[in-house]
Amino acid sequence: MKARTYPFYFAGGALALYLIFFVIPSIMGIFYAFTDWNSYSTEVNFIGLNNFRTIFSSGAGQNYLHFIRNTIIFTITTIFLKTAIALGLALLLTGGIKRLSYFHRVVMYLPAVLPILVVSLVFKSILNPATGLLNTFLRNIGLDFLAQRWLVDIHLALPSVIAVDTWRGVGYIMVILIAGLMAIPDEYYEAASIDGASGLDSFWHITIPLLMPVLTVTTVLNLLYGLKVFDIVFVLTNGGPGRATDTVYTAIFDEFSKGRYGMATTLSTLLFFIMIILGYFVIRLMHRETEG
Amino acid sequence: MIIRKIRGLFNHSVALVASLIMFIPVYLVVVNSLKTKVEASSMGAGLPTTLNWQNFAVVIERGKLLTAFGNSVLYAVGATLIGTTLAALAAYVLSRNRSRFNRFIYFFIIMGIAMPTNFVTLMKVMQLTHLINTQIGIILLYSATSIPFSVFLIYAFVGTLPRELDEAAIIDGCSPIRLFFSVIYPLLTPVLITAGVLNLLGIWNEFLLPLYYLNRSAYWPMTLAVYNFFGQFESDWSLVSADILLTILPVIIVYLFAQRFILSGMTAGSVKG
């Protein structure tokens, strides 16, 4: 009866597109990861675990572990920065101020709907060491020593990229946290204040525990985004200076454009397995949320 | 009382500064798009001394923005319609008939939210299917990328619609297809708008897929056109700003009209009351 009212072929279109453009390339990728597939020869040879060995031993002139390290640093730092700043702003907009709260919410979410390409281009000019707005501003208020060579300095490039991405993503996380905060009943806070709890007590013993499920979701979103980060790095620094800011995805693009398809697909496959394992936990998490 | 007032003032100032910081890039783009080349050379925050509206005419012509705009509309609208409709059909049957197999298919599809794209082998698939460097290819590709998240959003919403509707329609002799399109589809409107707007903006803003899979400049969307325009006119920030402004203007307009749906969609996906 159910199968007749809700025929499975309804799902066919979505399933077909998903299989063709997501699943099949990923499975092909696993196969090609064991080959020397490249643009210079039509032959594709099986080379076993060689590609993986190249990634995990950094002697081959290309420091792949460095890209993986950058990706992990980027991911972890942006998770912490975005969550902390977004939580601060969310608390401010739900409790600190009443008037204009919705206006601020709309403005702060704006960076999340702009193309990452555009955000990166504009920040490239803002962070220009000689003429950029940031350094001009710092010099004008007498803080010359803070005017750095942001995206050009090998030690500051990655932190600068992280800062720009935090700017871009914080409003999005904030909006989710605001919804979470508004779902906490006021009675809890009233009861706590009658019992003599301070604002800080309520924050640690009511807000944080009740916000935990939402914080988990935002962390997962930041995690999935961070591991796959590409656009912002590609446009801001293109992996430079040198290869100081290269991440896994920009390295894949680099290998791809040099015609080393086997290597590119090996990096992709590595990421695929990590994401699938994470995805499994994410789905269990979301599942629990929707059922509960 | 005074302490309370000071605290209120402090809170408002912090919120205002935060909003200003969030708004700076858009502001910079707007003021610099109207400056002369010399005036805009440092992409400064000052107001333009003369209003150079001709910048827009120049970028529309030299940046081939009309074609690019047409392409972006075609890709974003086409892929959103295809992707959201297919996702709605799938989410509907998977949510209504929760057999063991269907549940597996549902999880299998939303796994795509986490799954990274393998651009190299996808290139191979695009070549084998002759979809590479074609507009229909990029539309199908974008439809596919929107499916996992749309299925996830719509699946949860279908669960809130009463089953009695379906039963009544079936008793009245509705076919499954008619039941979906004349009874269920209209009721899905709120979630379809949310999913649709998110997909529309996401596709409009994307530039990686065309960068890989469209090598003819006549097929480029706005974002890729801006990227290449920037490569050619890097020194001329007035023109680059004008080009950027024309690219983000539709995004900002859609956002301002649909912000309620966007903000609610974000939370529907992640917070369950």
Chain B neighbours among A 12-41 (CB < 8 Å)?
13-15, 17-18, 20-22, 24-26, 28-29, 32
Chain B residues near residue A183 by CB distance under 8 angstroms? 271, 273
Check CB contact of A132 with chain B, cutoff 8 Å: yes
Provide the token pair at A242: 């040198």
Facing A224 at nearest CB: one of B114, B170, B270: B114
d(C-alpha B233, C-alpha B2), whole Å: 55
ipTM of the complex: 0.87
Q: Is A105 within 8 Å of chain B by CB?
A: yes
Q: Please state the domain count of chain B.
A: 1
| Residue B237 covered by a domain | no
- Please, which pLDDT band fits residue B272 given cuts at 50, 70 and 90? very low
Q: What is the distance between the terminal CA atoms of chain A, rounded to a whole angstrom? A: 28
A35: which DSSP letter?
B
The answer to whether the CB atoms of B259 and A167 lie below 8 A apart is no
Q: Is residue B140 part of a domain?
A: yes
> Does A118 contact chain B (CB < 8 Å)?
yes
Which CATH number belongs to the domain containing residue B92 in this structure? 1.10.3720.10
- Each of the 292 residues of chain A gets a pLDDT tens digit; together they read 677 788 889 999 999 999 999 999 999 999 998 988 888 877 888 888 888 888 887 654 557 888 888 999 999 999 999 999 999 999 998 887 777 888 898 899 999 889 999 999 999 989 988 888 888 888 888 887 787 888 888 889 999 999 999 999 999 899 889 888 888 888 888 888 888 888 888 889 889 999 988 898 888 889 989 999 998 999 999 887 888 888 999 989 888 888 889 889 999 999 999 988 888 887 777 666 554 3
| Alpha-carbon gap: A2 to the closest alpha carbon of chain B (Å) | 6
Of the given ranges (A102-106, A185-189, B251-255, B261-265), which has the lowest mean pLDDT?
Answer: B261-265
Q: Which two tokens stand for residue A53?
A: 């060995």
Q: Which residues contact B45 (CB under 8 A, 6 or more apart)?
A: A133, B24, B27, B28, B31
Out of B15, B107, B248, whose CB is closest to A93?
A: B15
Instruction: Give residue A289's pLDDT.
Output: 54
Reading the block at residue A240, the tokens are: 């430079």
- B255 within a domain of the structure (yes/no): no
**Cα dihedral across residues A265, A268, A270, A272: positive or negative:** negative
B124-144: pLDDT as tens digits: 999 999 999 999 999 999 999
* Cβ neighbourhood burial of A43 (10 Å; 0-12, 13-18, 19+): exposed
Residue-level pLDDT at A162 = 96
| pLDDT score, position A292 | 37
- Domain spans of chain A, in order of start: 69-291
Residue B144 tokens read as 């596919």
Provide, for chain A, the percentages of residues in helix, strand and coil under a 3-state DSSP scheme, each rounded to the nearest 5: 75, 0, 25
Residue A211 amino acid letter: L
Residue numbers in B near A271 (CB within 8 A): 116
Residue B8, min C-alpha distance to chain A (Å): 7
In the 8-state DSSP scheme, what is residue A193?
H
In this model, does residue B273 exceed pLDDT 50? Answer: no
Q: Which two tokens stand for residue B260?
A: 């309620």
Could you write out the DSSP letters of every residue in B177-222? HHIIIIIIHHHTHHHHHHHHHHHHHHHHH--HHHHHH---GGG--H
pLDDT, residue B261, reads: 76
For the domain covering A69-291, report its CATH number. 1.10.3720.10
Asked if residue B243 has pLDDT above 60, the reply is yes
pLDDT tens for B201-235 read 999 999 889 988 998 889 999 999 888 888 888 77
Angle (nearest 5°) at CA B169 between B167 and B171: 70
pLDDT band at B265 (very low <50, low <70, confident <90, very high): low
- Using a CB–CB cutoff of 8 Å, tell me whether A168 touches chain B: no
Give me the mean pLDDT over the B140-150 stretch.
94
> What is the signed CA dihedral for A264, A265, A267, A270, rounded to 10 degrees?
180
Q: Residue B120: give the domain boundaries.
A: 64-232
Average of per-residue pLDDT across B254-273? 67
Q: In chain B, count of helices (H) and strands (E)?
A: 13, 0
